[in-house]
Amino acid sequence: MDKKTELLARAYFVVMIFGILSLVIAYRVFTVSIVEGDKWRKMGAKNVKWKELNADRGSIFADDGSLLATSLQFFEIRMDMTVQKESVFESGVDSLAFYLSSTIRSDRSKYEWKQILRKARSAKNRYLYIDKNLTVDEYRLLKTFPILREGKYKGGLIEVKYGKRAKPYRDLASRTIGEDRENAQKIGLEGAFDKFLSGPADKVLQKRLSNNVWVPVYDPSEIGARRGDDVITNLNVHLQDVVHEELSKSLLKYSATKGVAILMETATGKIKAISNLANIDGVPREELNYAIGDNTEPGSTMKLATVLALLEDGYADLDTKVNLNGGKPVKFKDRTIRDSEQHGRGVVTLKEAFAISSNIGMAVLADEAYNKSAEGRLQWRRTLTKFGIDKKTGVEIEGEKEPYIKDPIKDDKKWYGTTVPWMAHGYEFLMSPLQILTFYNGVANGGRTMRPYLVSEIKGENGKNKKFEPRILVDQLARPENILKAKEMLEEVVLTGTATNIKSDYIKIAGKTGTTRVNYSNKEEYAKYNASFCGYFPADNPQYSMIIVLYEPKGVFYGSAVAAPIFKNIAERTMAWQHELCQPAKSMLDTAHMERTIPGANAGFADDFKGLYDYIGIPYKNKTENKWVYVDPFETKMLIENKKIVKGKVPDVRGMGARDAVYVLENLGLGVAVQGKGKVTRMSLSPGTAIRGQRIEIYLN
């Protein structure tokens, strides 16, 4: 009995001790977490913190899969000099110093590197700087060096991966594609679709070293690789190149300060090409997005709104007469309006006045129709509102300004007796080139105004894709019969009016010239002008609409002489590229002829190309005996050049058909999945990646 009591006493004692310890621990937990929580959290934050680790940024593609912007991977390399065993360090330090000095860091000798490594080991440096801005290939090479090849835990290798944004086509649509910059606002598509491109962010735990350097507790590569979504645009690389080239030539030819060109698909509103060029010391550069963010007085291009309003409100028809006073000044209140020349014409029809871009004709008709009463002025503003020209287009990227269209009530202090006639020939209101083009595109599209848009799809890695469809802004600008009359007048401009110089033998063009005095309020300053042309083609079946604006050209400044020829060249080259010239002729333009007879770039099996070219009669020059080749048009023939395929590395099969691409990849040991049809435009593994039996997806378009 005594023994049992003793055992129970011991058990109670042990339980009591555990109970006391539990209470002490609970009390300490409560004190540390609640009472002293803020204090300890502040202390912990000094040495450990969570940092966001951004996913690899997605890429931006053209409509054919060509890369417009992508992230290239670079590495910064450090070393923890405390983790290596003495034997590993001593046996490898000489060789490591040699490799560093003879490859990535030749700015220091082998002896210097050896001293740096030894000194860092003695000082227990846990974050020794080796190099930065290393490419993937340089990083792979460095990982084979002695000591570093042992990895993070045995060799002390610390890598910090980061991406740098690159644009393979450099200046082409550069401002529209935009910029992704640290500590700066993202612009263009990079900014508008940042939440998709940037992708999901993980958090990585970091610790502070003695020298106040923060390093990851875990290797970031141990976290599953995550990537942002890809953005597929409506931009076409070929058309963008044509637009950029033609605009650049004229920008320099006329020493204009800047220039804009936008090419839009009529039926959908898809922007196929957009160039914003500034003349920087004789070099065309993409600086700002003038096409979207630069609101100016449009001048004569917006006489289209005037004639459409007159037609729609029943104040005029194509054969309505108006006196042009020979082009000499006509007084409106205390101001005068004149035509660009004293042409000697008296009474003409509305159609003729529009074709020769008569300021007097537009001003007189609008003044008589709308400026005689307050209700008339309100009707003028209501009709312009009906056309939708007082609203933003809603294009995806930031920077679009609200159009400024005067209102007789809201702007009563700025509304003058001369406002209606001045607005009638394109002054006293502000619009951007894209807003003007959107209105013209509505007329070309039979009265249906489409929202201009740049992006067709967002592709996620998880297969969740988001598509963007065409959207209507104004379902019917005006009655169908009036739209047809407006189109007839736009065609007349090219047939008999101010743009007869761009009449084409190959396509039918419709449009309107514009010559805008930008400093008309300052009579003493030397006159400055903007030259423009806005229209569509082919006129009888519009596929594209386009606007060209050159700002402050020198010497020649009329829209017909400066902007209209750019329009014609782009239109002809666009339709030649599509193989859809309206009136093919034997004496076709050299550029158009070349586009029609010489195929584009390709890749594949050499004998297939040779056999095809021999059969069709296309001249070619064979520069290689390899069986896998890249073919490229050059002047009047095709060049057949070597396509390098290295054993053990993923080849670049972009441009190949599915059959050739699958054959090459499978023979190198890769599992292949094919999506789409046509030619390969994208690959899930980057060219040059080491082959280890992976699976690769190829995307065809």
- Structural domain boundaries in the chain: 52-233, 240-591, 599-700
The confidence score (pLDDT) of residue 582 equals 41
Tokens of 626: 């390899």
The confidence score (pLDDT) of residue 545 equals 98
Give me the CATH code for the 240-591 domain, please. Answer: 3.40.710.10
Q: Residue 42: count other Cβ atoms within 10 Å of its Cβ.
A: 9
Is 358:528 a contact under the CB 8 Å cutoff?
no
- Nearest Cα to 63, choosing from 189, 285, 235? 235
CA distances to 410, 557, 674 from 428, in Å? 15, 21, 57
Tokens of 526: 């030397």
Report DSSP state, residue 451. Answer: P
Low-confidence ranges of the chain (pLDDT < 70): 1-4, 32-33, 35-55, 182-184, 201-226, 521-524, 579-601, 615-616, 630, 632-637, 701
Tokens of 10: 């011991």
Whether omega for the bond prior to residue 538 falls within 30 degrees of 0, making it cis, is: yes
3-state SS, 598-637, equals CCCCEEEEHHHHHHHHHHHCCCEEECCCCCEEEEEEECCE
> Which contacts (CB < 8 Å, 24+ apart) does range 117-123 have?
117/81, 117/93, 118/93, 120/79, 120/81, 121/81, 121/82, 121/84, 121/89, 123/81
Q: Residue 258: count other Cβ atoms within 10 Å of its Cβ.
A: 22
Tokens of 643: 């396509």
Rounded to whole angstroms, how far apart are CA atoms 96 and 100?
A: 6
Rounded to whole angstroms, how far apart are CA atoms 363 and 337?
A: 8
Strand spans (E) along 296-386: 321-323, 330-332, 335-337, 347-349
Is 656:682 a contact under the CB 8 Å cutoff?
no
The confidence score (pLDDT) of residue 502 equals 96
Strand partners, 632: 639
The confidence score (pLDDT) of residue 686 equals 77
Residue 518 DSSP SS3: coil
Rounded to whole angstroms, how far apart are CA atoms 89 and 96?
A: 10
Rounded to whole angstroms, how far apart are CA atoms 138 and 471?
A: 48
CB-count burial class (<10 Å; 0-12, 13-18, 19+) for 319:
exposed
What's the fold here for domain 52-233? Penicillin-binding protein 2a (Domain 2) (3.90.1310)
The confidence score (pLDDT) of residue 205 equals 60
3-state SS, 270-286, equals EEEEEEEEEEECCEEEC
The confidence score (pLDDT) of residue 379 equals 98
Say yes or no: do domains 52-233 and 240-591 share a fold: no
Is 543:537 a contact under the CB 8 Å cutoff?
yes
Is 573:594 a contact under the CB 8 Å cutoff?
no
